[in-house]
Structure 1
């Protein structure tokens, strides 16, 4: 190659290097904008569950209404919104303990204004569905909805997110979801599963993660809101899969602990603050694909109710057939008539408990619920902050 040719080649290489490249944020913004313009919900789900999610709250304000199917929803479809819900007193107590850690920089007046709006959001949801049972922690979720969407749209989003197993008139449905965690871990990591079983650890240490979408346990708003992208665009059982991945990612630390129930429970109940959220999400998706909800229920001795939001996800949500009259009908069902899905037959559960273990589990669950309620009442002031998918 001649000297002149080499010089020209170097110039072309320099020119190529200097050519401006589209950074990942701009590429992602264009992808989101394109999906929004086409109302391509499948693509929005892919974007919300991959990479850095929906990037910023401005884009979330546009995307979440589509993902939650409320962009054309009219708020005042209920005739009487003046009737007070039974749980409004507890709502007010929780609201007064909100917005402590974020958003940052709120003065006293601004914080009181946000709390007033938050109360309106939660009460707005409950009065539209009087049969919903409020739980401490739902206000954490609604806090994030309010910060992203504003009050009016937060009520719409909160309504769709509220219609889950967590807000029925019994804790049993959500406890059944938590019990699936045991089977999931055993399917993936037998050593951890045996360690937890031998230490008499029940899965209720991650209850807060599941019912608040981690918004009560993670201090970093950017991580919390990234997880909201993921949860809003995913199966309602996805929080169980994420909880399993958090535990298995901590296996080295966990297995070095002394087999003391209190020590292990305390360790597990603290969500790791420095975890890579994007990496955690991708690992969770892989776990979900490997053991989808119906397969997981078949492998477990905990089959969820046929009317569970988990078992209705594909039929009613992905097909855009969510119907509030159906929702009200489901909420009206008493626990006594709720039955496991008939299509799911039990098959050699890993963790059948003998009578002694069953009694121990029942007593422990009751004690845990009482202790957790007391703990939340005392500690919620120090922390701020699902979905009928």
Structure 2
């Protein structure tokens, strides 16, 4: 019955999440292409209405969102350091960058309350390279941006800064020895946040920690 099916689906979801945060993660992009959309529930009928902006209308696309100039600068510097793009042709890299721009633009156009932040293009790059299909990557990023990254994509970082101030008390409660080590090292979470995120995004396994 429906209740039993929902319970089985919930248990499947829980097991997949556990697998995703295990040491070897989801192992390969072939698994990620099936399981990331499942975890995000992004391959639904409702999401089929999400379309990538056209490639042949650059001027209107740039006028459609306020962060086009910064997006262009970040994308131009992107897709160099991932293992899967180290040996590709420059023409293929440019094609992936165009797809990257279209995904970012598509997300921003869909929700005017979302603001671009530097480093967002790296997150989108991971989804584009793992899922391979720009349309599916757009759907996934729409869900990620409107949920897990929503606070980071507000017009200011006030809520994010407030959240980071809770990290030390939480860490103290969870791991007192680690907390003491960081405190004695004069570590500040706010300053280290962007660098830490970039390091996570460049891990060889490219695990989607921001989904968990």
TM range (shorter): 0.7 to 0.9
| Structure-1 separation of matches of 2:196 and 2:21 | 18
Shift of 1:193: 4.9
Counterpart contact for 1:121–1:151, Cα < 8 Å = yes
Alignment of 1:204 onto 2:190: yes
Counterpart contact for 1:182–1:193, Cα < 8 Å = no
| Structure-1 separation of matches of 2:39 and 2:160 | 23
CA shift digits 1:29-74 (9 cap, x unpaired): xxxxxxxx96822221122122422110001000011100112143
Aligned counterpart, 2:34: 62
Shift of 1:209: 4.8
Distance 1:213 1:89, change over 3 A: same
Q: Which has the larger radius of gyration?
A: 1
- Aligned to 1:125, the other structure's residue is in SS state helix
| Structure-2 separation of matches of 1:148 and 1:179 | 33
Counterpart contact for 1:87–1:134, Cα < 8 Å = yes
- Aligned to 1:101, the other structure's residue is in SS state coil
Aligned counterpart, 1:161: 144
Alignment of 1:53 onto 2:25: yes
| Structure-1 separation of matches of 2:145 and 2:197 | 10
Counterpart contact for 1:186–1:192, Cα < 8 Å = no
CA shift digits 1:126-185 (9 cap, x unpaired): 100111110000000000100011200110111111122100111111112222222234
Aligned counterpart, 2:115: 133
Quick one: which of 90, 94, 110 aligns to 1:108?
A: 90
- Aligned to 1:214, the other structure's residue is in SS state helix
- TM normalised by structure 1 equals 0.44
Distance 1:69 1:175, change over 3 A: same
Counterpart contact for 1:65–1:71, Cα < 8 Å = yes
Distance 1:194 1:56, change over 3 A: closer
- Aligned to 1:126, the other structure's residue is in SS state helix
Counterpart contact for 1:91–1:139, Cα < 8 Å = yes
Aligned counterpart, 1:231: 210
| Structure-2 separation of matches of 1:151 and 1:117 | 6
Alignment of 1:182 onto 2:168: yes
| Structure-1 separation of matches of 2:119 and 2:181 | 29
Unmatched tracts of structure 1, length 5 or more: 1-36, 235-389
| Structure-2 separation of matches of 1:210 and 1:162 | 19
Shift of 1:122: 0.4
- Aligned to 1:221, the other structure's residue is in SS state coil
| Structure-2 separation of matches of 1:91 and 1:58 | 29
Aligned counterpart, 1:74: 47
- Aligned to 2:27, the other structure's residue is in SS state coil
| Structure-1 separation of matches of 2:135 and 2:120 | 17
Distance 1:221 1:193, change over 3 A: closer
Counterpart contact for 2:50–2:139, Cα < 8 Å = no
Alignment of 1:86 onto 2:75: no
Distance 1:142 1:231, change over 3 A: same
The CA RMSD over aligned residues, in Å, is 2.6
| Structure-2 separation of matches of 1:194 and 1:146 | 38
Report how many residues are paired: 186
Shift of 1:105: 0.5
Counterpart contact for 1:185–1:192, Cα < 8 Å = no
Counterpart contact for 2:32–2:130, Cα < 8 Å = yes
